[in-house]
């Protein structure tokens, strides 16, 4: 052996699989589901569990005053993130409650004016199921379709509005495909028609710019745990002027939050939500740039090594941290099984409680087979480039292996049109 020629012994760098030594496993890349609490957020919260434990509603001692001061500080931080004023922020237990309160609260309050609500098909279940409940209570709900890119057609929205329309609820960005709806245009239409506009901004707030005034948003839901804050705390923005929006309370009790949401305030959680909003606002521009670069790298690596990839939803109008791809002819759950040291989600029925493939992907007009093959990558603040490289290599490796096993991939490669086969659905 030529002892001088050590390089010959080494594998070319490009083909050396990245070892787990580069990254700490398992890798979390499911940041649309939830995010870890940022250490800076936790640090801000800690004093409010023990030392400053007062009830923010206690008006006659310093324990209460200190807690109230912390809550009001958080209200300011949240308001600032979305261009609102502090008095317009109501604390809730999370976005599901915020969405329930927004829809039911507006529907009840404006029942005299009309009974028609407009939403769209790829909303979160917290909105869709609340709408179903309102339908049972006698409201009329229009569910707008989305185009193949996941975005609603503004003409559909215009057509759906009538003199009984009281509320439009359209999400800011989708939790599965990250697609951003034309919020400014929707807000403008709603304002012109005198209709209240609610948006579920859980995935958007803190990730991309949100301005309730510039966008004519009247009611907005956000959540702590999607933005590196704690679970169990969220907020609802309710516009106070131009126009003043009122909502009827859904939880009765001590009249907290100006009567709109009773219940002792979760002071540590609220402090955490406030801090999370502050950090998100300060770091938004640089973080969005970093994440979209990582996301684009992930996409480019997958596309360079694999055929039959289908990106689900618009790439142009999309959150910087989202990639949703179908690895056609590979079933999603089997892919997740192979990349078990990477936490991502699939739209496959096999991974859902209902055994139905993702309704969001189906709404894009995707066949069930393509929906079954989808993986959602949700990049976050703590993901690194080394992790993206590891995940890409791992996914490529497993997809290739599973396609070796896939009769569909083999048939397609042999030129067989599998859509012409008479499959026996079971």
CB closer to other proteins, 58 vs 351:
351
The partner residues of 144 in beta bridges, in order of sequence, read: 120
Is the peptide bond preceding residue 26 cis, with omega within 30 degrees of 0?
yes
DSSP labels for 222-247? EESTTTTS-TT-EEEEE--SSS----
Does 412 bind other proteins (CB under 8 A)? Our answer is no
Q: Would you tell me how many other CB atoms lie within 10 Å of the CB of residue 60? A: 7
Map the footprint of other proteins across residues 323-342, applying CB under 8 A. Answer: 329-331, 333-334, 337-338
Helix (H) or strand (E) holding 327: strand 322-327
Q: Which stretch binds other proteins (CB under 8 A): 113-121, 145-153, 235-243, 403-411?
A: 403-411
Q: Which stretch binds other proteins (CB under 8 A): 60-68, 182-190, 280-288, 344-352?
A: 344-352
Does 417 bind other proteins (CB under 8 A)? Our answer is no
CB closer to other proteins, 20 vs 137:
20
**Helix (H/G/I), strand (E/B), else coil: 103:** helix
Contact (CB, 8 A) for 333 and 327: no
Does 375 bind other proteins (CB under 8 A)? Our answer is no
Quote the crossing angle between the two packed helices 267-305 and 385-405, to the nearest 10°. Answer: 50
CB closer to other proteins, 47 vs 338:
338
Does 416 bind other proteins (CB under 8 A)? Our answer is no
Please state whether beta strands 27-28 and 342-343 pair in parallel, antiparallel, or not at all (unpaired).
parallel
Contact (CB, 8 A) for 27 and 343: yes
Residue with tokens 């005034």: 213
Quote the crossing angle between the two packed helices 125-136 and 95-109, to the nearest 10°. Answer: 30
Q: Of 357, 378, 383, 395, which one interacts with other proteins (CB under 8 A)?
A: 357
Contact (CB, 8 A) for 267 and 48: yes
Q: Shortest distance, CB of residue 151 to other proteins, whole angstroms? A: 25
CB closer to other proteins, 153 vs 333:
333
CB closer to other proteins, 4 vs 423:
423
Size of the site for other proteins (CB under 8 A): 29
Residue with tokens 């909003």: 277
Does 367 bind other proteins (CB under 8 A)? Our answer is yes
Q: Shortest distance, CB of residue 394 to other proteins, whole angstroms? A: 14
CB closer to other proteins, 386 vs 418:
418
The partner residues of 30 in beta bridges, in order of sequence, read: 378
Q: Of 162, 410, 413, 416, which one interacts with other proteins (CB under 8 A)?
A: 410
350 is catalytic: yes
Which residues would be at the binding site for other proteins (CB under 8 A)? Answer: 329-331, 333-334, 337-338, 348-350, 355, 357, 367-369, 372, 404-410, 418, 421, 423-426
Mind telling me the catalytic residues? 350
């Amino acid at each position: 052996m030529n002892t001088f020629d050590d390089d010959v012994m080494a594998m070319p760098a490009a083909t050396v699989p990245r070892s787990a030594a580069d990254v700490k496993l398992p890798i979390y890349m499911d940041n649309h589901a939830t995010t870890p609490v940022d250490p800076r957020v936790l640090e801000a919260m800690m004093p409010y569990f023990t030392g400053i434990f007062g009830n923010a509603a206690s008006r006659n001692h310093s324990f209460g005053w200190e807690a109230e001061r912390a809550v009001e500080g958080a209200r300011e931080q949240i308001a600032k993130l979305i261009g609102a004023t502090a008095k317009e922020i109501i604390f809730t237990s999370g976005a599901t409650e915020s969405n329930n309160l927004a829809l039911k609260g507006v529907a009840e309050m404006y029942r005299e004016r009309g009974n028609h609500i407009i939403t769209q098909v790829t909303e979160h279940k917290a909105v869709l199921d609340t709408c179903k409940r309102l339908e049972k209570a006698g409201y009329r709900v229009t569910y707008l379709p989305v185009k193949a890119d996941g975005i609603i057609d503004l003409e559909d929205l215009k057509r759906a509005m009538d003199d009984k329309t009281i509320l439009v609820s359209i999400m800011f960005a989708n939790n599965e495909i990250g697609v951003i709806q034309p919020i400014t245009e929707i807000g403008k239409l709603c304002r012109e028609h005198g209709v209240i506009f609610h948006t579920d901004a859980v995935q958007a707030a803190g990730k991309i710019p949100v301005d309730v005034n510039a966008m004519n948003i009247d009611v907005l839901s956000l959540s702590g745990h999607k933005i590196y804050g704690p679970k169990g705390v969220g907020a609802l923005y309710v516009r106070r002027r131009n126009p003043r929006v009122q909502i009827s309370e859904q939880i009765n009790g001590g009249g907290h939050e100006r009567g709109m949401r009773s219940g002792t305030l979760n002071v540590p959680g609220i402090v955490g939500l406030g801090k999370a909003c502050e950090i998100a606002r300060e770091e938004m521009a640089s973080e969005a740039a970093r994440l979209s670069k990582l996301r684009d790298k992930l996409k480019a690596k997958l596309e360079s090594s694999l055929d039959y990839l289908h990106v689900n939803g618009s790439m142009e109008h999309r959150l910087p941290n989202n990639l949703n791809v179908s690895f056609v002819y590979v079933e999603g759950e089997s892919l997740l099984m192979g990349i078990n040291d990477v936490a991502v989600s699939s739209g496959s029925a096999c991974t859902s409680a209902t055994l139905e493939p993702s309704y969001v992907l189906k709404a894009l007009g995707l066949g069930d087979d393509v929906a079954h093959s989808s993986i959602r990558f949700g990049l976050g603040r703590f993901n690194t480039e080394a992790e993206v490289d590891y995940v890409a290599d791992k996914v490529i490796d497993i997809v290739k292996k599973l396609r070796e096993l896939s009769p569909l991939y083999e048939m397609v490669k042999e030129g067989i049109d599998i859509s012409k086969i008479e499959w026996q659905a079971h």
